[in-house]
Chains A and B, each alone.
Chain A
Amino acid sequence: MTEQKQIWVFIEHTDGKIADVSLELTGKARELGDQLGHEVVGLLCGYNVDALAEEVIEHGADRVLLADDPELALYRTLPYARVAIAEARVRKPEIFLIGGTPNGRDFAPRVASALRCGLTADCTDLQIGDYYVKKEGKTYKDLLYQIRPAFGGNLIATIVNPNTRPQMATVREGVMRKPAADAARKGVVEKVEPAFEPGDFALEVLSRQVRKSTVKLKDAPVIVSGGAGVGSAEEFALLRDLANLLGGEVGASRAAVDAGMIDRAHQVGQTGTTVRPRLYIAAGISGAIQHRAGMDQSSKIIAINTDPNAPMFQIAHYRIVGDVGEVLPMIIKSLRERSMDQRDAE
C-alpha cells in the first residue's frame, strides 16, 4: 500500500490560542488536499497543547502531529526546527505551508535549508498546476504554484520547486480566508517524540512581552490609509479623524511606516496585512504592487495623490489629483455636514 501523500501546515499559537494565519492555511491546505487527494496534516509543537489539536482538525486537518514537550513551551528556532526536520525526513510531505509571522519566517528558512528544499516567502496565492521544462522535455505534474509579486515592478511571479520536497511557502495573515470550524470533522492526533540534541538549547528565552495589537485592520469596514504623500506623523491625525468618522481603521503603506510616521501594525500590503474593506481610501500612496496586493480586493477605492501618474489611480474607483492635506478635510467636512443635516431632519 502506498501511503497517502501529505500537505503540512505549521500551527503557531500564543497563550493557548492558535494564530489565525495557521487556521487560514489549514483551510487552504484542505482545498489543495481535496484537489490532489492528499492528507492535510497540522504540525503542532508546544507544551500542554493537546486541546489545540482538535481545533486544527475542525478547520480542515485530517491529522495532527503533536510534539508536546516542556522544551517546546515557547517558540525557539532550533527545538521547533528539530521536530519539523526529523518528521519531514521520515514522512516526506509534498507541501509545507507556514504563516508569514516573525516566528514563521524564522522557522521556515531554517527548516528549508536543512531539508535542502525551495521556499517562497509571502505568497499571495497558491494553486496547483503543471510545469513543462523544455530543456528536459518533461512535464512536472501537480506542482504547487507559489504566486507572489516579484521585485521591481508590476510583476507577479509563479514560483515552482520541481525537484525538491516539501514545496515550502509562507503566507501572511489575512491572505487566505479562515474556514468555519466544523465540530463534526474527524481526524487523528498522533504524538511524536522529539529527539533533541544538546546544541538545540543554545538559545534561551529570558523574557517575552506580548503586545496586544489594538489595530484591527483585517475586519475594518473602512480603511483610511496613508503613504509617503501624507508628509508627517502629525498629518496622520487627519486620517485618524476620517477613520473615526467612518467607523474605520487607519492603514499605511510601507513607505509611511519606514519613514516613522506610523507604527508597523498599521501596514497594509504583501508584507503587512491583507485587507478587503468596503471602502479603502489611499491617501498619498503611490501604489507599489506590494501594497496593492494587500488591498486590491477592496469594494471601493478612493485614491488621493498629487502625482497624476501614481499607479494607485489605475485601480481606484475615485481618482482625486490633489494634496492629502486639502482633500481629506473636504471629505471630513462633507461627512460632518451630512450627519448634521440628518440630525436636523430627525
Chain B
Amino acid sequence: MTDTRPIHSVVLVKQVPDTHNITGEVMTKDGTMNRGALPAIFNPEDLNALEMALEIKGRHGGTVTVITMGPPKAANILRESLFRGADKVVLLTDRKFAGADTLATSVVLQLAVQKLGQFDLVLCGRQAIDGDTAQVGPQTAEKLGIPQITYAESVIDIADGKITAQRALDSGSEIVRCTLPCLLTVVGSANTPRPASVRRQMERKLSAAPGEYAALRAKWPEFETDEAVDAFLAKHDLKIPVWTAEEIGATEGTIGLAGSPTQVHKINFVVLESTESKTISPTPEAIAAMVAELVHEYIVG
C-alpha cells in the first residue's frame, strides 16, 4: 500500500566550477590552470537529486524546496531549480560562511533545513565535482540526527513512513528500507534530469535575490531604488529569500573558516615534466619505430 501522505523534500545544491571540461585551453603556459576560464554550473549530481525529489512529488504530492550555500551569484542555480519545478528556494549567503570546509558547511545546511520546518526527505548529489569529497551529505544527516542512504540510485517505494531505495555501489547494489525523515545522496545514474519548463521559465525568470537588485535596476531604470525592486518582486512572489548566519542562528566559531577543522597547510603547483620524451608523428612508419623501441626495452612483447 502506497502512502497517500504528501512528501516534503528539501534538496541541497551547489554551484561549482565546471571542472569536467578541462582542456588544454584553460591551462596556462606555466602548467597551472586558469580558473576564470571555467564556467560556473549546477553541480551535476545535485540535478539528479532535484529530479528525484520532483519525481517523488509527482507520485506523492508535497513540496520541493531547494537551498544552496554560496555567493550571491549562486542564485542562478536556484532560478534553474525553479524553472525545473521547485516550489521554493532559499539562498544561504553571508561572508561569515566563506572558507567553510565540509563540516562547517554541514552546520549551515543543518540550521537552514531546521529553519524550513517539517520535512520528510533531504536530498543532495552524492558529491560535488569541485571537491569530490561526498562528505557534506552524511555530515548534514548526522547533524540533523537522521539516517542516511548514500549512493541512492532509485526510490522503489515510500509507504508507512518508510522509504525503500536502491544503492548503487561499485561492488554491486543494495536495497535498503529506512524510516523517514532521512537523507539521500543521489548518484548520476539515478535519472535524467528534466529540462527547464518553458512555461515555468516565463513565469519565474524575473526571480531574484536582493544581491542582484543593482543589476536588475541597470536593466530596468523605471525602478529607482532597491526597495522598489524588492516590493515588485515580493508582490509577484519572485523574490529569492536570502538567509544569513544570523537568520539561521549560526554561532560564530562553528561556521566558515573558523568552524573548519581542516586547514590548508600549503598548496604546491605541480610543474609537469617528463624526463625524456619523444614526439612521434602519427604515421605508420614512426609508430612502427616506437613499437620496435618498446619491444626492445621489454616494455611490450
Contacts and interface: CB of A to CB of B under 8 A. Distances in A.
Given A152-B38, A155-B267, A286-B24, 20 more contacts: A78-B147, A103-B169, A116-B261, A122-B132, A146-B262, A152-B17, A158-B267, A159-B263, A202-B182, A206-B176, A213-B170, A310-B23, A314-B272, A319-B279, A320-B280, A321-B279, A330-B282, A331-B291, A334-B291, A335-B301
Given A299-B299, A314-B273, A309 B178 contact: no
Contacts of B276: 317
B300 A246 contact: yes
B174 interface: yes
A11 B148 CA distance: 21
Interface string B98-119: 0001110010000000000000
Given A110-B142, A151-B131, A314-B31, A206 B175 contact: yes
Contacts of B277: 316-319
Nearest to A108: B135
Interface of B: 17, 19-20, 22-25, 27, 31-33, 35, 38, 44, 101-103, 106, 130-139, 141-143, 147-151, 164, 167, 169-179, 182, 188, 260-274, 276-284, 287-288, 290-292, 294-295, 297, 299-301
9 contacts: A121-B132, A122-B133, A154-B32, A158-B268, A162-B263, A286-B22, A319-B279, A327-B287, A333-B284
The A contact surface, by secondary structure, is mixed
A143 B141 CA distance: 29
B119 to A, nearest CB: 16
Contact of B274 (A161, A203, A209, A317): A317
B150 A158 contact: no
A103 to B, nearest CB: 7
Nearest to A310: B24
A319 B278 contact: yes
Interface residues of A, number: 97
B262 A156 contact: no
B256 to A, nearest CB: 15
B282 A326 contact: yes
B170 A265 contact: yes
